[in-house]
Amino acid sequence: MKEIIEQILPNVQKPARYIGNELNSAHKDWDKTSFKVAIAYPDTYEIGMSNLGIQILYDILNQEKDILAERVFAPWPDMEEQLITNNLQLFSLESWKPLTEFDLIGFGLGHELTYTNIINMLKLGNIPIWQKDRQDNHPLIMGGGPCVFNPEPIADFFDFFVIGEAEEVIVEIAERLRDSKLDIRNSKLDALAKIPGIYVPSLNNKVTKRYIKDLTPAPYPLTPIIPFIEAVHDRAVVEIMRGCKWGCKFCQAAWTTRPVREKKMDKIIQIADELIKNSGHEELSLVSLSTSDYSQIQELANTLAKKYEGKRINISLPSMRTNTFSINLAKDVARVRPSGVTLAPEAGTQRLRDVIGKNMSEENIMDGIESAFSAGISSIKLYFMIGLPTETEEDLLGICALAQKIIAAGKKHTNRARVTVNLATFIPKPHTPLQWARQISIEETLEKQRFIKQNLRGKSLTVRWHDASASFLEGVFARGDRKLALVIEKAWQLGCRLDAWSEHLKFDLWQKAFNETGINPDNYLRERSTDEELPWDFIDTGVPKERLLRAANPD
């Protein structure tokens, strides 16, 4: 196998995506390690390697003496072609072993538009895609990550799912499987179904999410893998907090990661030290959903900035609320001045921001903008959603008015002031107070995009928007049910791959897949009645449905 791989690598773009051997990658003795896990991410190497969850699980598993974890990512089409023409199976990065030689394959699922890649990877790995077709000698297929808060569209492809934070339970899973002398697949699944947080679609019908109670002692990779090629985020990353105290009603990330947990400051500093030493990165990023809410953010950022003063290390604070405080803080700690700031008012009027629970007044926005411009920042990125519940033309005009107001404020400071307006289609997500809402159609999306473009003209203004068909598909699968598995398989058969990449998304083939399977996708975008049973109701995130309902309809 090795010789053939060596021969095909020169024929593909970026062979470094497939070869492993990066600094800090784990190389355990294949023959002497009893339990073997493949950590799979159904997108390219660059995307997968930017995923913190993948690095955390890889590290935890490889710390265990008799467990080995290796990585595998979705191949680029040129590699897929080489694998097929050379009759090779998809192989892991570290030992170049085919997927069939692993005991467990765990997929990280961060985006609905990666689902055809799961099928593709299983097929290229010579593993039956349907759970029911797999035999005792096949690896078990596990899924985890944000998407599995509604796993139903892909449930028939997986043996089991981890609901919630997998690092809390991954070793338990591996031990249970390793220690079970049972070779029989069904007995393994029986054993797994008894672990809290594990959902075995063929067995259980209720599951409560698992989460880390205390983030401070939780395992964190101190020797992260350093890719040879540029990953999407090429920087040292310390997670400082999980969860978010703001209950924006559309925000699945916040509603599914409750409660809010902070990592203690001295631990963060200790981790940062190790990461800098072990990575050689020039940027240290303090990440969370809402970094300005970390209780000691100022002290933390200043301490780190002082510590690394002489080392040419830039400290970045993404996900900060844009206000005077955070602009000044970012300016104090960054070695390179950020050239732009990002603001997400999400809706164009106060009325609509109130409806969706976005706690941001126009005054907040303009204060933040003023301090950004005063700090010498010239480019502002604004994020809005279109198609929000109760939205009218007035709200869309509000987006335009706000952008104009900001550019006018900017021009008073500098002629270089620029505003970019990013429009995303609102996608109702499971386990949020807006999970019952209707998602607008592709035609309505295009119409609203056009309307905003027409009303937002100006030299220093740019409007960008999400592809309407990609949002459509994301919406269908986000609130989908088991029937959709057939559509995913069909789309894969027709040639859909890497759908999250606009250059690869073939929407006409998806339409064909819906037609041929007799499934009407529009049905998934409709408004749901509050007494309807939803496909993801069996998952308990810790926030009861009644609470979501109350948040959806206050008073």
Partner 1 sequence: MQRIQIKYTKGEEVKFISHRDLMRVFQRAIRRAELPMAYSQGFNPHMKISWGQALKVGATSEGEPATLQIDGWIKPAELMAKLNKTLPQGIAILEANLV
DSSP for 341-358?
EEEEEESSSHHHHHHTT-
Q: How far apart are CA 107 and CA 279, in angstroms?
A: 26
Q: Which of 44, 257, 279, 445 binds partner 1 (CB under 8 A)?
A: 279
* Cβ neighbours for 315, distance < 8 A, ≥ 6 positions apart: 283, 284, 285, 286, 301, 304, 305, 308, 333, 334, 335
- If the CB atoms of residues 108 and 227 are measured against partner 1, the closer one turns out to be 227
10 binds partner 1 (CB under 8 A): yes
Taking CB under 8 A as the rule, does residue 226 contact partner 1?
yes
Binding of partner 1 at residue 228 (CB under 8 A)?
Answer: yes
* Residue (189 or 238) nearer to ligand SF4, CB: 238
Give the one entry of ligand SF4, partner 1, none that residue 394 binds, where binding means its C-beta sits below a cut-off of 5 to 8 angstroms depending on kind: none
42: tokens are: 């159904």
Please choose, from the candidates 289, 286, 368, 370, the residue with its C-alpha nearest in 3D space to the C-alpha of residue 322: 368
Q: Residue 290 binds which one of ligand SF4, partner 1, none, with CB within 5 to 8 A depending on kind?
A: ligand SF4
Cα separation of 357 and 362, whole Å? 14
* Residue 1 in the binding site for partner 1 (CB under 8 A): no
Q: Does 291 contact ligand SF4 by CB under 6 A?
A: no
Nearer to ligand SF4, 88 or 423 (CB): 423
Do residues 141 and 157 touch, judged by C-beta distance below 8 A? yes
Partner residues linked to 266 by β-bridges:
none
Least separation in angstroms between CB 357 and ligand SF4: 8
Binding partner of residue 253 among partner 1, ligand SF4, none, CB under 5 to 8 Å per kind? ligand SF4
Are the CB atoms for 387 and 426 separated by under 8 Å? yes
With CB under 5 to 8 Å by kind, the binding choice for 228 among partner 1, ligand SF4, none is partner 1
Contacting ligand SF4 (CB under 6 A), which of 57, 88, 244, 352?
244
Q: Name, in order, each residue with C-beta under 8 angstroms of 471's C-beta and a sequence gap of 6 or more.
A: 424, 425, 427, 445
As measured in angstroms, the least distance from the Cβ of 251 to ligand SF4 is 3
Q: Buried b / exposed e across 358-379, counting CB within 10 Å, b at 16+?
A: bebeeeebeebbbbbbebebbb
Decide if residue 16 touches partner 1 (CB under 8 A).
Answer: yes
Distance CA 507, CA 521 (A): 13
CB of 327 to partner 1, least distance (A): 21
Nearest distance in Å: CB 289, partner 1: 29
Choice between 16 and 424, CB closer to partner 1: 16
Q: Which two tokens stand for residue 135?
A: 């035999």
Could you say which DSSP state residue 309 is in?
A: G
Among 49, 56, 57, 248, contact with ligand SF4 (rule: CB under 6 A): 248
Q: Which x/- pattern, by CB under 8 A, does the window 500-539 give for partner 1?
A: ----------------------------------------
* Among the residue ranges 21-29, 109-117, 199-207, 316-324, the one whose residues contact partner 1 (CB under 8 A): 21-29
197 with 207: CB under 8 angstroms? yes
Q: Which does 282 bind (CB under 5 to 8 A by kind): ligand SF4, partner 1, none?
A: partner 1
Residue 517 token pair: 């399977």
Q: Which of 178, 233, 267, 281 binds partner 1 (CB under 8 A)?
A: 281
With CB under 8 A as the contact rule, which of the stretches 240-248, 279-287, 297-305, 515-523 interacts with partner 1?
Answer: 279-287
Per-residue CA distances from 316 to 48, 87, 221, 267, 282 (Å): 21, 46, 19, 18, 11
Please list every residue from 319 through 358 that binds partner 1, using CB under 8 A. 336
Residue from the set 61, 236, 240, 254 that interacts with ligand SF4 by CB under 6 A = 254
Task: Between 220 and 255, name the residue whose CB sits nearer to ligand SF4.
Answer: 255
For residue 421, report the phi and psi dihedrals to the nearest 5 degrees: -105, 120
Please identify which residue in 30, 228, 246, 538 interacts with ligand SF4, judged by CB under 6 A.
246
Q: Does 501 bind ligand SF4 (CB under 6 A)?
A: no
433-436's contacts with Cβ under 8 Å and 24+ in sequence apart are: 433/247, 433/249, 433/255, 433/357, 433/548, 433/549, 433/551, 433/552, 434/249, 434/250, 434/356, 434/389, 434/552, 435/479, 435/528, 435/534, 435/548, 436/527, 436/528, 436/529, 436/530, 436/552
CA-wise closest residue to 153 among 186, 183, 119: 119
256 sits near ligand SF4 (criterion: CB under 6 A): no
Quick one: what does residue 246 bind among partner 1, ligand SF4, none, with the CB cut-off 5 to 8 Å set by partner type?
ligand SF4
Measured between alpha carbons, how far apart are the two ends of the chain, in Å? 65
The stretch among 272-280, 433-441, 447-455, 468-476 that binds partner 1 (CB under 8 A) is 272-280
> From the list partner 1, ligand SF4, none, which binds 289 (C-beta under 5 to 8 Å, kind-based)?
ligand SF4
| Alpha-carbon torsion, ordered 505, 508, 513, 519, to 10 deg | 110
Structure tokens at 427: 């996608």
- Is 142:106 a contact under the CB 8 Å cutoff? yes
Distance CA 301, CA 335 (A): 12
Out of 65, 181, 312, 412, the only residue in the binding site for partner 1 (CB under 8 A) is 312
Question: Helix axis angle, 507-517 relative to 468-478, nearest 10°?
Answer: 40
Residue 375 as a binder of ligand SF4 (CB under 6 A): the answer is: no
Told to check if 228 binds ligand SF4 by CB under 6 A, we report no
Q: What DSSP line would sit under 364-408, residue for residue?
A: HHHHHHHHHHHTT--EEEEEEEES-TT--HHHHHHHHHHHHHHHH
Q: Does 22 bind partner 1 (CB under 8 A)?
A: yes
Q: Which is nearer to partner 1, 51 or 279 (CB)?
A: 279
Count of residues near partner 1 by CB under 8 A = 21
Write down the least CB distance from residue 359 to ligand SF4, Å. Answer: 8
* Residues numbered 270-289 forming contacts with ligand SF4, rule: CB under 6 A: 289
Interacting residue ranges for partner 1, rule: CB under 8 A? 9-10, 14-16, 19, 21-23, 226, 228-230, 277-282, 312, 336
Which residues form the interface with ligand SF4 (CB under 6 A)?
244, 246, 248, 251, 253-254, 289-290
